[in-house]
Amino acid sequence: MWKQNFLFRHNEAVPLKESENELFHDTDPALDSAGLKLEKFLSVWVQGDGEEAPEAYTNIYVRTATLDFNKRAGFLQPLQGRSHQIKQMLTPGQKAFLKEWLQKTSPQAWESSEDHFRALFED
């Protein structure tokens, strides 16, 4: 299975260079948010058929996350995979970025994807 992660600041249309795994790997779960200066993020996981390169994009999952960079503590919410949730969580700019990246990375995988997958990136 091919997979790719995009980690966006909450309302930004361009993802960070770091993935969810890289940014949250050495953090502790925040037991209480008191005293934390939390920044909001949106983590997007795209899966597809194939190993090295996608042959078709098959699934997308999105979750919210928060992180206090100074205290290295944060929250990762459960992954959401329902179409209506994903459409509500992604901003128009994030949808546009993802659609362009997926089309550019593998036009064949984009064309081989189901209509319901491609529809997630429409406004």
Q: Is 111 inside any structural domain?
A: yes
> Domain residues for 26?
2-116
Which range is least confidently modeled, 3-12, 17-26, 38-47? 17-26
How many alpha carbons fall within 13 Å on the CB side of residue 56? 9
First to last CA, the chain: 28
The total number of structural domains that make up the chain: 1
Q: Is 122 inside any structural domain?
A: no
pLDDT tens digits, one per residue of 43-72: 999 999 999 999 999 999 999 999 888 887
Decide if pLDDT at 76 tops 90. Answer: no
Distance separating alpha carbons of residues 46 and 28, to the nearest angstrom: 25
pLDDT at residue 78, as a whole number: 87
Rounded to two decimals, what is the model's pTM? 0.90
The predicted model gives 77-86 an average pLDDT of: 89
